[in-house]
Every structure is written in structure tokens, then in C-alpha cells.
Structure 1
Amino acid sequence: MKKPWLLYAIAVTLMWGLWGALTAMLSNGDIPSTIIYAIWAFTMIIPCIVALKLVNWKLETDKRSIILGCTIGFLGSGGQMLLFYAVDTGPAYLIFPIVSLSPLITIVLSFLLLKERTGKLGTAGIIIALITLPLFEYSEGNSTNVHGLMWFILALSVMTAWGLQAYFMKFSNNHMSAESIFFYMTATALLLIPVAYLMTDAQSLNQFDFSTIPSIAGVQILNSIGALCLVYAFRYGKAMVVSPLTNAGAPLISSVLSIILLGIIPGDFKILGIALAVIAAILLAIEPEETKQSS
């Protein structure tokens, strides 16, 4: 295929977009996000097994691969842990737009350290995608939790962690297999389950309906499959293109599906975000392949 990175990037946006829409449909305030994290971590095992089987169970266990793989895993899962706490201490309508700018860090690092470049169409697509991201997350409202700077520091930390994760994902693909990267992502996600348990309120845990686990897992596995596709997208494509495309594309799919399935009428900012995301995706997709490939 001429653009394998684009195929995987599209798969990421579809998986994560559907995941976002179904999460909105099945959202239940009685289910702690930390429990959802634990269920998601277990669903990572399934695509991990499939990926390793595709390479005949060849896992890279040298020191560099372990360090790089675990760095990627802890940045992703650790960022998720911080996000849980950030939302508990501050306004979500301000936190998520900050976190959504994580591709900016990936782009800067990829430009400076990996020497990635793109043409005029790609550059325009990246800029539009970065403008789009906060629009999807923006919602008007006031919060009584806007006290102090802790939530702001946590939001910046999550943004930094996920921006670094995407950069290291691309960097590591130049030194180890995508399948090994995903194995260490899965392992670190599982290792952080005890942390999620300690962050869970005891009363919420006692009231949790365990019969909902299959439905939660069915939704969360879409996230896990999308994560594996993302690793493959970074294997074949440029980080400075893949990161903004997937981060803008997934909310686009979620918004469209929410409109269709839930009958939700988005606000003006989200409508603008949808339009800009479509434009950004088209520009990034039609950029000539010669300028996309990493040197």
C-alpha cells in the first residue's frame, strides 16, 4: 500500500471515535473512572496477544527496548492517572482543551530531534488540526472547583506526558518492533492497576455493579485496538502528521456519531471544530507521499 500510515491512522480515528461515542452513550456517573481504567488495561491484553502472534512471539528484551517501551507505557498510562485526579480538582471544560494540545509537543520534538519535515499542504493541515482540538473539548460553563493552580499543573503534566509519549513512540519505532512497543504499553498499563485501585473511593467500589464489566470492556477494547493501530501508524508515518491527524480525527468521528445516535446538536464551537477537522484530515491525507516518509 502506498500510504500504510494513513490506513492505520484512519483505523485509529474510527476506533477511538466509536469508543468516544459509545462512552457518551453508556456513561454512568456511578462508575468510577479508575475502575474503567482497570478494565481498559485488561482489554489491552487481547490486541497485545494478536500483535505478538503476528511476529511469532518475538519480543525484544534488550535493555534499550525495555526502557523505551516502558517509558512509552508509563507516559500514556501515567498521564491517564493524572487526568483522573485533575478532573477531580478542577474544571473539565478547561482541562481537556489544554490536554488536547499534546500534539504540539510531539510536533516540536519531531521537528527538532527527528528532523521531520512536511510540505505546504501538510503544514496547513497540522496548523488547522491544532486549532481544531480545543474546539472539540470546549464547553461553556462555570466550575466551583477553580481554586488554586493544582488542576492547571496537572493538566499541563498530562499534556506533556502524552506529547512525549507520541514522540517516543515514533522514536522507538526506529529501534524496535511495534509489537514489542505495544507489549510494554500493555505491561505498564497493568502494573498501574493497583494505583487506580488506591485512587478509587471505597464507597464507590462497594456500590459498583460488576454485571456491567462486559459492556464496559466491549467499549474499552475499541480504545485498546486503536492504541495498537496508533503504534503501527507511527511506524510508517511521521509523528508530526500522525499525532494531529488522529487527535483531531477521533473527536470528529465521536461528534458525528453522537449527532446520529444520540440526536445531540453540537454547539457553535464544535460545529466549527467538525468543519476544520475535515479540512485538516483532507490536507494531511493528500500531502504527496514523498514528503511524508521519514528519511
Structure 2
Amino acid sequence: MKESKKKPWLLYAIVATVFWGVWGAFTSVPSRNGFPDTLIYCVWALTMIIPAVFVLWRINWKLQRDKKAIVYGLIIGLLGAGGQMILFYAVTVGPTYLIFPIISLSPLITIVLSLLFLRERTGLLGIIGISLALLSLPLFEYSGDLNTEELDENGTLWFLLAILVLVAWGVQAYFMKLANSSMSAESIFFYMMVTGIMLIPIAFYMTDFSQEINWGWDGPYLAGAIQILNAIGALCLVFAFRYGKAIVVSPMTNAGAPLMTSIISLLVLGVMPGHYKIAGIVLAVIAAFLLAIQPEGKKPDED
């Protein structure tokens, strides 16, 4: 393949970044309106059905049903949805301003696994871009307000839960790339959708129905409109992993999405980012540019 050819992974990564960026800017609105996060998860799981059905229809319903495909699909789906379930609990027992910077480093797990087992490599620009993207990720979430009393009260449970989410999502991205070598992206996403729905009862169990819940249009219906962006972004991510290297796609999308969220929050919501977030924005912009212009090169098994 010539270097001048288009990079399909980049297009999918950009679409995923944009959709996740818009989703990130508005995802907390239904929660602030009185619709619990656990029920928002249920809505998200249901919105996954729409793009899953669409892409399967595009390939004439050719869903892979062999044992390997099912195992890979369930691993990817359970790691993603299971990590989300753990996160719901983590933010109830620990400081979110430290939990999210920790889990934002999940691409580091993906990169290490991909370097060791998939033998992925990149050039100098790619290495610099990956490094800057990883540096930018915690800055998007860190507020700088360290509350030592809150840390003492919550002990280390929140930290262990954050590490679990970090590992789950990092390993999920690795398996997403691994599965793409033997599965269609459409089948991978279908099983992601199935596992997401399987965990809905757990989300219901975690919901505090004793509190007043907003069932109006600005509750579950608004959540559905916002979460469909998340679902489409996840679909595009699967395709980005299909055509691109995990060591590039993972840090690029994970840094690009909060970058888009910050820009949208500034332009639409009038939210001025703090000093740490501004630093993260600068690093993410540079990283995205370097990762986009880095030549793809040959795969390790190509001579």
C-alpha cells in the first residue's frame, strides 16, 4: 500500500472523536435534571441497538457465530460495560477529580499490550504524538484541588476501583484490535451491544428508586438523544481499530474526545477551561496533528 493512499482509520477516529466530544459536553445534563447515571447507562445500552442493527443490515446480517467470535465479542463487551459499572460505584466512594485522571490513562495499557503481543510499531512523529496524548489525558480531568480530608475518609477503595476501570478499558481496546484480525467490525459491535444490554439489570439494581426521578423529556428522552452519539462513536472506534494501529488510535481518540468536549463547552456552554485543561488542550492538539501526519509504514509481518 502506498503512503499517499487515504487512511480509513483516521476518518473513523476523527468521527469517533467528534461524536464523543459532543457527547462529553452534554452527557451530564440529564443527570443534573434528575435522571440517575445508572439509568443513563440503561438508555445507552439500548441506543447501541440502533447502530448495531444498521451495520449488520449493511452486510446482509452476516453475523459471525463461531466460538472464537463469541468469546472475543463477550470479552470486549464485558470489559467495556463492566468497567462502566465499576466506575458508577467508584465515583460514589471516591473523589471524581482523581478517579477520572487515573482511568484516562487506559491507553497506556493498550499501548503496552499492543507493542508486546501485536508487535505494532510507529515512527518518531508517532512516538512523540503518543507521548503528548498520554500526558494530556489526566490534565483534562484534574482540577488541582486536592482534598486530603476526603481522601482519608474514603480510604483506598476508590483507588483500587479506578485501577480496575483503567485496566478493563485498556485491555478492552487491545482485544478490540486483536479481534479485528479474525472478526468483522460489525460482529464485534453486535456483541458489544449484547453485553451492554446483559448488564442492564445490574444498573437497575444499583439505582436508588427512593429518590425522585425525572421521567420527562429532559430525562430519559434527552439522555437517549445524547447517548446515541456515544454509541455511534463506539462503532466508529471499532472500525478505527480495524484499519489502524491500536498504539495510535487509542491515545488519539482518548485525547481528542475531551479536546472536542472542552472546545464545545467553551463555545456553546460558555464554560472557560482551567489552567490544567488548557495545557491538556495544547498537548492534545499537537498530539493529534503528529499522529495524523505520521506515515503508516509497514506492518511487522510485511517485508
TM range (shorter): over 0.9
Q: How big is each residue's C-alpha offset from its partner over 1:164-220, in whole Å with a ceiling of 9 and x where there is no partner?
A: 00000000000111000000000000000000001111213x533243222110000
Partner of residue 260, structure 1: 267
Identity in percent: 60
Q: Is 1:139 aligned with 2:146?
A: no
Partner of residue 257, structure 2: 250
Alpha-carbon shift at residue 54 of structure 1 (Å): 1.2
Matched AA of 1:84: F
Partner of residue 132, structure 2: 128
The two structures have a TM-score, normalised by structure 2, of 0.94
- For 1:105, what is the secondary structure of its paired residue? helix
Partner of residue 94, structure 1: 98
Partner of residue 171, structure 1: 178
Matched AA of 2:295: P
Alpha-carbon shift at residue 24 of structure 1 (Å): 4.5
Among 216, 230, 234, which residue is 1:227 paired with? 234
Q: Where do 1:207-226 residues align within 5 Å?
A: 207-211=213-217, 212-226=219-233
Q: In structure 2, do the counterparts of structure 1 residues 280 and 292 end up closer, same or farther at CA, with 3 Å as the change threshold?
A: farther
Matched AA of 2:214: F
Provide the C-alpha distance between the structure 2 equivalents of 1:250 and 1:79, rounded to a whole number of angstroms.
19
Kept in 2: contact 1:126–1:244 (CA 8 A): yes
Alpha-carbon shift at residue 62 of structure 1 (Å): 0.6
Provide the C-alpha distance between the structure 2 equivalents of 1:95 and 1:195, rounded to a whole number of angstroms.
22
- For 1:262, what is the secondary structure of its paired residue? coil
Kept in 2: contact 1:238–1:294 (CA 8 A): no
Q: In structure 2, do the counterparts of structure 1 residues 84 and 217 end up closer, same or farther at CA, with 3 Å as the change threshold?
A: same
Provide the C-alpha distance between the structure 2 equivalents of 1:252 and 1:40, rounded to a whole number of angstroms.
22
Q: How big is each residue's C-alpha offset from its partner over 1:69-114, in whole Å with a ceiling of 9 and x where there is no partner?
A: 0000000000000000000000000000000000000000000000
Q: In structure 2, do the counterparts of structure 1 residues 214 and 97 end up closer, same or farther at CA, with 3 Å as the change threshold?
A: same
- For 2:155, what is the secondary structure of its paired residue? coil
Matched AA of 2:281: I
Among 30, 37, 59, which residue is 2:34 paired with? 30
Matched AA of 1:209: W
Kept in 2: contact 1:34–1:200 (CA 8 A): yes
The two structures have a TM-score, normalised by structure 1, of 0.96
Partner of residue 194, structure 1: 201
Partner of residue 82, structure 1: 86
Q: Is 1:148 aligned with 2:152?
A: no
Alpha-carbon shift at residue 162 of structure 1 (Å): 0.1
Partner of residue 166, structure 2: 159
Q: In structure 2, do the counterparts of structure 1 residues 294 and 210 end up closer, same or farther at CA, with 3 Å as the change threshold?
A: farther
- For 1:290, what is the secondary structure of its paired residue? coil
Matched AA of 2:98: L
Alpha-carbon shift at residue 25 of structure 1 (Å): 4.9
Kept in 2: contact 1:237–1:294 (CA 8 A): no
Provide the C-alpha distance between the structure 2 equivalents of 1:207 and 1:134, rounded to a whole number of angstroms.
32
Unmatched 5+ stretches in structure 1: none
Provide the C-alpha distance between the structure 2 equivalents of 1:159 and 1:290, rounded to a whole number of angstroms.
29
Alpha-carbon shift at residue 259 of structure 1 (Å): 0.3
Kept in 2: contact 1:236–1:293 (CA 8 A): no
Q: In structure 2, do the counterparts of structure 1 residues 6 and 293 end up closer, same or farther at CA, with 3 Å as the change threshold?
A: farther
- For 2:60, what is the secondary structure of its paired residue? coil
Q: In structure 2, do the counterparts of structure 1 residues 294 and 14 end up closer, same or farther at CA, with 3 Å as the change threshold?
A: farther
Provide the C-alpha distance between the structure 2 equivalents of 1:143 and 1:73, rounded to a whole number of angstroms.
36
Kept in 2: contact 1:9–1:246 (CA 8 A): yes
Kept in 1: contact 2:73–2:188 (CA 8 A): yes
Kept in 2: contact 1:166–1:239 (CA 8 A): yes
Q: In structure 2, do the counterparts of structure 1 residues 261 and 97 end up closer, same or farther at CA, with 3 Å as the change threshold?
A: same
Kept in 1: contact 2:22–2:264 (CA 8 A): yes
Partner of residue 113, structure 1: 117
Kept in 2: contact 1:118–1:292 (CA 8 A): no
Q: Is 1:237 aligned with 2:241?
A: no
Alpha-carbon shift at residue 234 of structure 1 (Å): 0.2
